[in-house]
Amino acid sequence: MQNFELTILGCSSATPTSTRNPSAQLLNIAERFFLIDCGEATQIQLRKFKLKFQKINHIFISHLHGDHYLGLLGLVSSMHLLGRTVDLHIYCPPELVEIIEMQFKHSHTQLRFNIVYHPHRYINNDLIFEDKKVEVRTILLNHRIPCCGFLFTEKPLLANISKEVIKKYQIPVEQIMAIKSGADFIMDDGTVVPNQEMVSHHHQPRSYAYCSDTCYDENIVASIKGVNLLYHEATFMHDMLERAKETYHSTTLQAAAIAQKAEVHQLMIGHYSARYKNLQPLLAEAQSVFKNTILAMEGETVKIVS
Amino acid sequence: MQNFELTILGCSSATPTSTRNPSAQLLNIAERFFLIDCGEATQIQLRKFKLKFQKINHIFISHLHGDHYLGLLGLVSSMHLLGRTVDLHIYCPPELVEIIEMQFKHSHTQLRFNIVYHPHRYINNDLIFEDKKVEVRTILLNHRIPCCGFLFTEKPLLANISKEVIKKYQIPVEQIMAIKSGADFIMDDGTVVPNQEMVSHHHQPRSYAYCSDTCYDENIVASIKGVNLLYHEATFMHDMLERAKETYHSTTLQAAAIAQKAEVHQLMIGHYSARYKNLQPLLAEAQSVFKNTILAMEGETVKIVS
């Protein structure tokens, strides 16, 4: 099965702590490396966890609060200094283009590679990346400033057909793709061989939804229905509900309620307030509503399973 | 004796490594906390070394290469989020004002405190900060883009006069300040008591010069003559002299030659290229020219002595 795994680089909210960095995640789907948000010191985290950052060709920035993008310029500069030449695609709020380009202008930096900007259009379910194995769509979130989450989905794989089956029914080469795509096979004597007798199917396409930062908003449920892994911010425990509302963040119980309504397979919470030294109470509170919850923990990698 | 000590927060050049952060130093002179440069993750380093960053009221940025300022916005944001209300003074290239203010605009951030900008005028020996105990002047450096070093100097302290001496010569209160400042004392019978018989002197005012980034430039020697501690960048060992020239950086031998010509008391080298895992050869090379050389090492504090 192709790789589909998520490594957490930062799981803190706005103010980092001595043990937690601001938001950043590295998602590997079939050896495509997607960086999701890029808080301060993301390049340092990538080095610390021995992740090769020149493999990152696509960076997704949710919004323009510093804890989600302030590491971007340093990372891009290091990519340049270490000799990168291949294009780097950045999916981001439109204003980030000016922020980056102004700083390169003042430092007299001429990159040896192109940055291809894909400014957010703030449309829900906007297809912003697609290749033969993966697609990425936006999830409109509800925060103090415009903010996009991201839904990463594997494309369905064609079914398998074994050599033995091909030999048994004498299937001509030119019909194999059709059968892999779902067609039946008609033999020379007119006998119809049903598709399901010939093929074996891969796993269901898997999906990962990144929802940070956002207040509790049931409007996102339709977009993330049934995903294999949902990352939903849980900045606060539920006793801080009023603070969560004021700041357009979510509580553990709210993240769990969204996971439950969306019937996701697994929930990961993160974006923890610096006030929480111990994260176990946050986990326990979320699990009281949605059992299959895990904590985002820096340096840990989670496999997304179907 | 009042405090005069320097803590290294980052000593790497442009690309940080898994063990070295980009440039940042915290200088404490008589409980004034001066932050000198602010590379990415400086706020994380301050936390790691348990330094209280709300005590920092003055930040000095040498130039607009990212490894010298990219941590500033995150630090200022955290100061804000943690409730700061007192003014923050930033001494910096003029373009940094636009870089910071644009980002606060896009993140809809309204600080609860004032940032007072002091844009560099790029005049050598420009007095940019002064209070009753300390003054700070610019040192024009020679780099690819406009760059200022900084010279921090204690102000001379008034001499001490003991109670016993005051009693012995029956010195009236109103004459004490004059004597502390160097005056002799004339007794009622006309006898002149020479100043040196009455007072004891404090140490000579101490000084610290920060010179990074710069190529080898003897023009700075006059500005840093006889300082107690000189920090001079030594990005490369001397076999990389050509690379140093191309990039407007210095080698270990060049830093040592400047220290020697300026007759400083002690030299600290830093801003090491990421290519050097072991720093001892850099130290040995610098010491071959200037014996009293030390390495900048993160988390270490050096007392500046007279």
| pLDDT, mean of each 10-residue run, chain B (306 residues) | 95 91 97 98 95 95 97 97 96 97 95 97 97 97 97 91 91 91 90 90 91 97 98 98 97 98 98 96 98 97 94
Domain identity same for B274 and B184: no
The confidence band for A158, taking pLDDT boundaries of 50, 70 and 90, is confident
**pLDDT reported for residue A306:** 86
Residue ranges of chain B whose CB lies within 8 Å of a chain A CB: 14-18, 21-22, 40-41, 43-44, 47-48, 64-67, 70-71, 73-74, 77-78, 81-82, 93, 95-96, 98-99, 102-103, 106-108, 144-145
* Catalytic residue IDs of A: 67
Q: Which two tokens stand for residue A100?
A: 């980056």
Residue in chain A nearest B80 by alpha carbon = A15
Closest CA to B58 of B78, B87, B81, B16: B87
Same domain, A240 and A175: no
Question: How many domains does the structure of chain A reveal?
Answer: 2
Kindly determine whether residue A95 and residue B106, on different chains, have CB atoms separated by under 8 Å: yes
Q: What is the extent of the structural domain holding A239?
A: 4-157+202-303
What is the average per-residue pLDDT within A229-257?
A: 98
- Which of residues A146, A170, A200 is at a domain's end? A200
Determine phi and psi for B135, rounding to 5 degrees.
-135, 150
For residues A193 and A283, membership in a common domain is answered with no
What are the distances in angstroms from CA A269 to CA A14, A68, A285, A301?
A: 15, 16, 11, 14
Instruction: Assess whether B46 and B77 both reside in one domain.
Output: yes
Given a cut of 90, whether residue A1 has pLDDT beyond it is no
My answer on whether A63 and A100 are in the same domain is: yes
CB atoms within 10 A of CB A288: 13
The verdict on B64 and B180 lying in the same domain is: no
Rounded to a whole number, what is the distance in Å from the CA of B95 to chain A's nearest CA?
A: 7
C-alpha distance from A42 to closest chain B C-alpha (Å): 9
Q: Residue written as tokens 């309504």?
A: A261
pLDDT range class, residue A159, cuts 50, 70, 90: confident
pLDDT of B48 reads 93
Judge if A111 and A177 occupy the same domain: no
> How confident is the model over A250-258, as a mean pLDDT?
98
Residues A257 and A170 in one domain: no
Instruction: Kindly indicate whether the ipTM for this predicted assembly is greater than 0.90, answering yes or no.
Output: no
A145 lies in the same domain as A183:
no
- Rounded to the nearest angstrom, the minimum Cα separation between B177 and chain A is 48
Tokens, residue B20: 């070295």
Distance between B14 CA and the closest CA of chain A, angstroms: 8
Are B207 and B228 in a shared domain?
yes
Q: What is the pLDDT of residues A197-222, one digit of tens each?
A: 899 887 789 999 999 999 999 999 99
Calculate the CA A69 to chain-centre distance.
16
Q: What is the CATH number of the domain that holds B278?
A: 3.60.15.10
Nearest CA in chain B to A49: B18
- The backbone region for A73, taken as left when phi is positive above 0, alpha when psi lies in -120 to 50, beta otherwise, is alpha
pLDDT of residue A70: 97
Mean pLDDT over the full length of chain A: 95
- The pLDDT of residue B169: 92
Choose one of B148, B175, B200: the last residue of a domain: B200
What is the mean pLDDT of the segment spanning A182-204? Answer: 89
Q: Which residues of B touch A67 (CB under 8 A)?
A: 74, 77
How far apart CA A88 and CA A201 sit, in angstroms, is: 35
Per-residue confidence (pLDDT) for residue B181, from 0 to 100: 87
Query: Across-strand partners of B265?
Result: none
**Same-domain check for residues A102 and A140:** yes
Residues B125 and B265 in one domain: yes
Give the residue from B70, B72, B73, B84 with the most A CB atoms within 10 Å of its CB, the best one to mutate: B70
A-chain residue closest to B43, CA distance:
A16
Amino acid at B208: Y
B119: nearest Cα among B102, B94, B136: B94
Tens digits of residue pLDDT in A47-102: 999 998 899 999 999 999 999 999 999 999 999 999 999 999 999 999 999 999 99
* Residues B99, A108: C-beta atoms closer than 8 Å: no
Lowest mean pLDDT among A15-19, A231-235, B144-148, B204-208: A15-19
Question: Rounded CA gap, B53 and B188, in Å?
Answer: 55
Nearest CB to A15: which of B64, B66, B82?
B82
Give the mean model confidence (pLDDT) for residues A221-229: 97
Give the one of B48, B70, B144 whose C-beta lies nearest to A74's C-beta: B70
Got the DSSP string for A46-104? HHHTT--GGGEEEEE---SSGGGTTTHHHHHHHHHHTT--S-EEEEE-THHHHHHHHHH
A4-10 and A301-303: which strand pairing?
A: antiparallel
Domain end point (choices B171, B200, B229): B200
Question: Among B66, B56, B65, B61, which residue's Cα sits nearest to residue B86?
Answer: B56
Q: Under an 8 A CB cutoff, do B14 and A81 touch?
A: yes
